[in-house]
Amino acid sequence: MLTMYCVNILALFLFFSSTLGSYPQYDLDKADELFADFIKKYERKYVSAEEFRMRFEIFKRNLVKLNEWNANSQYENSGFIINQFADQENTPPCVDPSKMNNTMPLTEVKREFIVNAPDELDYSTQGLVTEIKDQNPCGSCYIFAAIGNIEGVHAKQTGQLVSLSEQQILDCMSSATCHGGHAYEVINYVASNQGSMSEADYPYIEKDKTTCRFDASKVKVKVNAAQSFNTPDDESLKGALVQNGSPLAVSK
């Protein structure tokens, strides 16, 4: 199977949630009520009064950010809302700087793709993006980025969109951890280890180095190799998205 991949890392941004054209402005005077609703919805349990107060202060600061982002949103069909990360200030590590020395040859983005890149491109409307996934506290976004890339390319080539397993990577790839990594290593692992199982057969449990339960008889997608695009600016990145014809995994 011929495959083409960009092997950068997708940086996950907390608090974003797609909505249907709504841009909530949260009443900061009711922050205590909103926090109580948040605690109930996400079943938060804080170990002390000090942690409760600390999380509440973070929550209030995040409400201010959400209001600012929604007030300045340039998108008609999306907004920012309270979600399970609203009492957190620091995101889990996703990129391991020690692994940012990718020595793979870079593929140049052809100028015609850069020049002719459309103003809008949404691969989720083309059946190339699976359902929304949640990495939870594990810093495994590099795995989600790589798996999303593989899912998209496979769907582009076969017409079949299959949700693949991130947990397989955490359990079975020797260098994979919840503390960051590099997407191209994930793609190369899938290429050299018989392929990827589905999310249904190997579900995500957000822990690294549990027992590897890989079953070659249940492989859904196989990969040849990873490929990097040279995208020094936004226009080149747009061109790479068009040239690749499916979602990319991106880092900088």
SS3 at position 106: strand
| Per-residue model confidence (pLDDT) at position 95 | 62
pLDDT tens across 88-122, in order? 887 655 665 555 566 678 889 999 999 999 999 99
Say how far apart CA 42 and CA 45 lie, in whole Å: 9
| Per-residue model confidence (pLDDT) at position 12 | 28
Kindly report the number of other CB atoms within 10 A of residue 31's CB atom.
17
| Per-residue model confidence (pLDDT) at position 33 | 97
pLDDT tens across 51-96, in order? 999 999 999 999 999 999 888 877 766 788 998 889 988 765 566 5
* DSSP code at position 110: P
252: number of CA atoms within 13 Å, CB side?
A: 6
Least confident of 1-5, 45-49, 102-106, 144-148: 1-5
Q: What are the structural domains of the chain?
A: 20-80 (no CATH), 97-244 (3.90.70.10)
For every residue of 156-168, DSSP letters joined together read: HHHS---PBPSHH
- If you count them, how many residues does the chain have? 252
Say how far apart CA 240 and CA 104 lie, in whole Å: 17
pLDDT band per the 50, 70, 90 thresholds, residue 169 = very high
- Which residues, including other chains, have CB under 8 Å from residue 36's CB and lie 6 or more apart? none
Dihedral over Cα of 77, 79, 82, 87: its sign: positive
Residue 170's nearest CA partner among 148, 201, 130, 203 is 203
Q: Is the pLDDT at 15 greater than 50, yes or no?
A: no
| Per-residue model confidence (pLDDT) at position 97 | 59
| Per-residue model confidence (pLDDT) at position 96 | 57
